[in-house]
Structures are given as structure tokens and as C-alpha cells.
């Protein structure tokens, strides 16, 4: 299911809750709450890695 369709389901009430990070116009977004000793490139590489995704699910 594409993002637009997911959002449409939210609006018509057939989905109970909005997935974390889903926005109306931009798809998904993430936020950062801590400063880490990584370059932006290293941080993005970690966030999109399997290990990073696993850590975000906790």
C-alpha cells in the first residue's frame, strides 16, 4: 500500500492509528533527540542500516 493510500485510510477512519512518522505530504519523517559523536553521513548510514532500524523499533 502506498503512503497516500495509507493516509487516506486514516482520514476515512478505517485505520485505528497513524503509523509513527507518517505525514500528510512528505511521507515519513524522523526526529533526533540526542547529539551523537558521528558525522551526518555516519549517522544516516546507521539509521538506514538493519541495525539502526532494529534499534528504532525498541
DSSP 4-54: HHHHHHHHHT-SSSPPTTEETTTEE-----S--SS-HHHHHHHHTSHHHHH
pLDDT tier for residue 41 given thresholds of 50, 70 and 90: very high
Residue 1 has pLDDT above 60, yes or no: no
Rounded Cα–Cα distance for residues 58 and 41 (Å)? 23
pLDDT at 38 > cutoff 60: yes
Q: Is the pLDDT of residue 17 over 80?
A: no
Q: What is the pTM of this model?
A: 0.39
4 pLDDT more than 70: no
Amino acid at each position: 500500500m502506498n503512503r497516500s493510500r495509507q493516509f487516506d485510510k486514516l482520514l476515512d477512519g478505517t485505520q485505528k492509528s497513524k503509523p509513527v512518522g507518517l505525514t500528510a505530504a512528505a511521507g515519513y519523517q524522523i526526529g533526533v533527540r540526542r547529539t551523537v559523536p558521528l558525522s551526518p553521513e555516519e549517522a544516516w548510514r546507521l539509521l538506514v542500516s538493519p541495525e539502526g532500524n532494529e534499534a528504532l523499533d525498541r
